Amino acid sequence: MMQRVLVCLLLGSLAWGQALNPTPAASPQTPGAPSPEAKSPDAPSVPPDAPVITIEGMCEPPAAGNSADAGCKTVITRADFEQIVAVVGANMPAAARRQLATRYANALLMSQKAHAMGLDQGPKYEELVKLQKLTVSATLVTQAIQQKASEVSDKEVEDYYNKNLEAYQEVSFERLFVPRTKQLDTPKIKLTDAANQKRQDDAAAAMKKEADTLQARAADGEDFAKLQIEAYTVAGLKSTPPSQKLSKARRNSLPPAQASVFDLKADQVSPVIADMSGYFVYKVVDKDTLPLTQVHDEIFGSLKSEKVQEAMQALQRSGTPQLNDQYFGPATPQANMPPPSAGPRPGPKPPSLGPK
């Protein structure tokens, strides 16, 4: 019995690690229904009462007089093992199931050794069991919150889509990047700090003027590829300019300061947009809005993530621990652990901006 408790606590610890880093579900799944990835390719052909793990030389509880050469062994059937899998992670792929089986068998061996050494009793053992029980309880709460958060209706998804249509626009642009700084030749004589600063300021002003000039030419219909080469030539850069094509960009794929370009009409050219690296000019090539059917799973994941975050934050606000700074020392950023998360909000990876 004690060995089973130790193993359950070990597996609970593993489940807690998974709960802290959950993967947002793309679509709801009926509780208890096996995932397509839950079984290895040959699992259906293995009967429920067939052994899937056999540990030669170990009996639980150890039988008197039994030893490895006397045929003592522990057998875990498929049904037994899948009960464990259902607790740890029902959608576990085949490779992870094999790893779990190995860890489970090793845990059984270690727990039997702990019992033989008398380590499964005493104050230290009791305190560790208490801590592990807290961990298991926290795991179950986290899993329950995630399951509740998965109850996202199609109506919620549709309402979210209609309220955030701008987020699902896809726009193709031509984009011109003008570096903020200019590569200056090394002066032939040593300059004073003031003279060197003026030289840099003049170069920066020249690049700003160049950006304004190129924007006006882009608005007049000149080719962006040609203008991009000129921008790099004026900046004194010999590296290859970035591509001026930006296809099917989403609003959250650009920095907030540049998101206004999504409001432009087809063939419209933006004013100069400045940031720390330089100046940007955009021209809209075409615009489209993704249909709900194409972004349904993305929105489902977003809503689930929000619900998990809200529930976790509400739980933490229900009881704020007060720590004794004299004992623990002052709080540091590293000590402030973030709450468990349902993962990042889905979305495209922002494109690289500026020269490479």
User: What is the tens place of the pLDDT at every residue in 13-44?
Assistant: 454 444 444 444 444 444 444 444 444 555 67
**Residue 160: predicted pLDDT:** 97
Closest by alpha carbon to 38, among 83, 105, 102, 103? 83
pLDDT at residue 335 greater than cutoff 90 = no
Distance in angstroms (rounded) separating the CA atoms of residues 154 and 300: 9
**Residue 89: predicted pLDDT:** 75
Q: Which two tokens stand for residue 85?
A: 């899998």
Which DSSP string corresponds to 233-256? HHHT--SPPPPSEEEEE-GGGS-G
User: What is the tens place of the pLDDT at every residue in 190-243?
Assistant: 888 898 899 899 999 999 999 999 999 999 999 999 999 999 999 999 999 989
Closest by alpha carbon to 352, among 205, 227, 240? 240
Q: How large is the average pLDDT for residues 305-330?
A: 93
pLDDT at residue 338 greater than cutoff 90 = no
pLDDT at residue 298 greater than cutoff 50 = yes
Distance in angstroms (rounded) separating the CA atoms of residues 329 and 325: 5
| Domains annotated on the chain, with CATH | 2-151 (no CATH), 168-289 (3.10.50.40)
Tell me the average pLDDT of the chain: 83
Which DSSP string corresponds to 71-94? T-EEEEEHHHHHHHHHHH-TT--H
Q: How confident is the model at residue 91 (pLDDT cuts 50, 70, 90)?
A: confident
Lowest mean pLDDT among 2-16, 54-68, 94-108, 139-153: 2-16
Q: How confident is the model at residue 270 (pLDDT cuts 50, 70, 90)?
A: very high
**Residue 353: predicted pLDDT:** 41
**Residue 68: predicted pLDDT:** 46
**Residue 356: predicted pLDDT:** 39
SS (H, E, C) the chain: CHHHHHHHHHHHHHHHHHHHCCCCCCCCCCCCCCCCCCCCCCHHHCCCCCEEEEEECCCCCCCCCCCHHHCCEEEEEHHHHHHHHHHHCCCCCHHHHHHHHHHHHHHHHHHHHHHHCCCCCCHHHHHHHHHHHHHHHHHHHHHHHHHHHCCCCHHHHHHHHHHCHHHHEEEEEEEEEEECCCCCCCCCCCCCHHHHHHHHHHHHHHHHHHHHHHHHHHHCCCCHHHHHHHHHHHHCCCCCCCCCEEEEECHHHCCHHHHHHHHCCCCCECCCEECCCEEEEEEEEEEEECCHHHHHHHHHHHHHHHHHHHHHHHHHHCCCCCCCHHHHCCCCHHHCCCCCCCCCCCCCCCCCCCCC
pTM for this predicted structure: 0.65
Residue 268's CB is within 10 A of a number of other CB atoms, namely: 12
Question: Which of 344 and 42 is assigned the larger pLDDT?
Answer: 42
User: What is the tens place of the pLDDT at every residue in 152-205?
Assistant: 999 999 999 999 999 999 999 999 999 999 988 888 888 888 988 998 999 999
Which H helix or E strand runs over 211?
A: helix 193-219
**Residue 191: predicted pLDDT:** 82
Q: How confident is the model at residue 332 (pLDDT cuts 50, 70, 90)?
A: confident
- Name the pairing type of β-strands 169-179 and 73-77: unpaired
Q: Output the CA–CA distances (angstroms, integers) from residue 283 to 137, 201, 305, in the order listed.
A: 55, 29, 35
Closest by alpha carbon to 177, among 217, 219, 232, 220? 232
Q: How confident is the model at residue 11 (pLDDT cuts 50, 70, 90)?
A: low
User: What is the tens place of the pLDDT at every residue in 101-124?
Assistant: 999 999 999 998 999 899 999 999
Closest by alpha carbon to 228, among 283, 284, 172, 286? 283
